[in-house]
Structure 1
């Protein structure tokens, strides 16, 4: 309620949001081994709603840590002892038994899909791959619209160029992308063509052929500052919430999905 305006979040009334959330949480069912089950605690992380709900919950959960950080001009500082930092994290540890905090002090840490390394006072970022995650992408033998296959190598290289600070890290990530595409039956000629398309459209062919550091640095900085497709959509909807609201956007047809009807007061 504290983030609402006149009882609304955007164009949705708080009451409608609560009803839709309750509908999803109360009908969280799935089938396994020819039996139907109802999940009574938590929700499926594959659900778009669950991800949003988790973000909202964690936003509220971390407010004490954020206030501590702002008060001390950064949670990690010379004026704070390690013991004091541990005490604050220990307080947060007991706020919810379902949320576990792992504390790590190192010159290299992983955050989401990024590895951040402190080398002699200079930060270096590269892509982090979980050891348990397989190199799986949409197989070439599947049958979606062909532009989706074309966009997969491009988007993978775009992500790598945005995250990898050093050209050598980007090079090894490009090799990994090549291998992932080959393992998923993408033709070598197709891979070469789409990789060349990425470098050609971004005026960075010398990075492909020579690992030119200066050109890559410019490519990295340029792409890093560009909003993603999702960010562009969100920015547009924030400025024009009634022109193209989410509920009126076309949805992908799938007979196995059910979209709830709009709630009426």
Structure 2
């Protein structure tokens, strides 16, 4: 539960605040008659309090006290036996339990031997954390003020990006998650804590706002947005028998160790190439020149600073993936890596695409020719960055097994045989809500990936067993199965008992549904809201929110023309994961 020392009204006010802020931002972007806006906000606030101010039943109070004692007991046992409990780095709900001294030794050894980080100094009485922070923010402000004096940025840019305008700036701290190898040995993967108050957070968001549209403009024809997008494009390509033949091979490649080992110079060079790409017409840099953007990107790379063991470090290579801007930088680098190596190869009439640090394409030419290219790549790049490939009539890509069966495409969901089965992913906010969404995602993926009805039925059964094995009830599984098919067939008149013909029709309808959802997101018409939730009638609040949205907002002719679709999510404050792990 949230802090019990505060009055319940105060707690509810804090939990409602994120939703109120999101609505304020929405009505700035999509204006509406002020009286309607105020009426909706008042009704929403009243409904929130009525739904969540209910007293907690005694049985739940007793259970929460029991579980509090249980968690404290586990904590004491871990401390007494010098053990450490950590979730694993694969983002599944699996945990590593080991000796804390061994884990600490491996962590310190990593920091002593790594070439990714550089120590900038100690945190002590002579150099306090506040002094370190002041030096960092002053350094960033000096660069911005110099650009302003040179008239390279406007006063608006200066105000928006200046450190002096920000409060509650904090450095993230470094921690490690274990990655379990096949021989049960562990490797440590460094992670940063939340970066939302980091010095470069606003700068990262601003640069992403400028560079993301430019990147999408350049790569839109060869970009896989996700696995379902990849599958739809591959299926469309394979319909043309003149380009998809019985001899057509599939090729996948992956750039390894990219995120922690690409030099800052290479990342800056990729940005320079993007800004000068001839594909981009009438580029919009928000009033900045290409040279200034390069300077700001360099400031972001140089100021990724964090804390570990009372020391201040910064990234010498790569950058933390906590920022979506970091992922964009690596995507831009990957694209230019592809362009450098593949521009000499004719890939017309092939299905080609990139996803993050991976790629896929069909191939109708000599296998020796493409193998020669990949060999040259690995000889050019020094370890630890290297490329692995898979070439043949059978490959797997983005968790999809793909096979060329004499000129016909066969596909199904792929599972790594070396990975533990029947696991659900780790989520750091509202696990039960996220798992409901995950259930729907897995069924969508099964329908788009599986070309044969037998494979779909098998995958559907596997999904159901996975949730049951993780503590979800049969009622939960059956309910969300029905909800999934209602998304595709709202009238609920279509049978879910498929033969191959009916299954093919279902896959076509599912593909159309996914396309409609993607168009909503692409056009920014799908708006997601979230609020903090501990206890109460969540279904009542969600239902009332949607009702008031339709009754009060969509009755406004101007607001209705925006054609917005909304999704309301709840989040928890605390999870057992965070309570039990260090």
TM-score by length of 2: 0.35
User: 1:145 and 1:220 mapped to 2: Cα distance?
Assistant: 29
Matched, 1:51 2:51: no
- From 123, 134, 137, the equivalent of 2:409 is 123
**1:47-76 superposed Cα distances (whole Å, 9 cap, x missing partner):** 422322221111111114543443675573
Q: Considering Cα pairs closer than 8 Å and 6+ residues apart, tell me whether 1 or 2 has the greater RCO.
A: 2
- From 317, 334, 344, the equivalent of 1:41 is 317
- 1:202 aligns with 488
Shift of 1:34: 7.1
SS at match of 1:171: helix
Structure number with the higher strand fraction is 2
User: 2:472 and 2:287 mapped to 1: Cα distance?
Assistant: 44
User: 1:181 and 1:132 mapped to 2: Cα distance?
Assistant: 17
Q: Decide which moves more: 215-224 or 15-24.
A: 15-24
User: 2:460 and 2:307 mapped to 1: Cα distance?
Assistant: 39
CA contact (8 A) 1:138 1:184 kept: no
- From 240, 261, 276, the equivalent of 1:2 is 276
- 1:240 aligns with none
Matched length:
235
User: 1:236 and 1:199 mapped to 2: Cα distance?
Assistant: 25
User: 2:517 and 2:391 mapped to 1: Cα distance?
Assistant: 35
CA contact (8 A) 1:150 1:194 kept: yes
- 1:234 aligns with 522
SS at match of 1:43: coil
Shift of 1:169: 1.9
- 2:473 aligns with 187
Matched, 1:96 2:386: no
Gaps in structure 2 of 5+ consecutive residues = 1-274, 351-361, 526-561, 563-569, 574-582
Query: CA 1:200/1:49 → structure 2, altered by over 3 Å: closer, same or farther?
Result: same
Gaps in structure 1 of 5+ consecutive residues = 238-243, 245-251, 256-265
- From 217, 226, 231, the equivalent of 2:504 is 217
User: 2:349 and 2:458 mapped to 1: Cα distance?
Assistant: 37
CA contact (8 A) 1:137 1:180 kept: no
- 1:159 aligns with 445
User: 2:439 and 2:309 mapped to 1: Cα distance?
Assistant: 36
**1:217-260 superposed Cα distances (whole Å, 9 cap, x missing partner):** 122123334327455323459xxxxxx9xxxxxxx9999xxxxx
User: 2:308 and 2:459 mapped to 1: Cα distance?
Assistant: 37
SS at match of 1:101: strand
Q: Decide which moves more: 25-34 or 61-70.
A: 25-34
Q: Decide which moves more: 61-70 or 191-200.
A: 61-70
- 1:86 aligns with 371
Shift of 1:25: 2.7
CA contact (8 A) 2:447 2:456 kept: yes
Shift of 1:107: 2.8
CA contact (8 A) 2:453 2:503 kept: yes
Matched, 1:60 2:336: yes
User: 1:253 and 1:18 mapped to 2: Cα distance?
Assistant: 37
Larger Rg: 2
CA-based RMSD of the aligned residues comes to: 3.8
Query: CA 1:47/1:88 → structure 2, altered by over 3 Å: closer, same or farther?
Result: same
Query: CA 1:20/1:137 → structure 2, altered by over 3 Å: closer, same or farther?
Result: farther
Query: CA 1:26/1:184 → structure 2, altered by over 3 Å: closer, same or farther?
Result: farther
User: 2:571 and 2:440 mapped to 1: Cα distance?
Assistant: 26
Shift of 1:168: 1.8
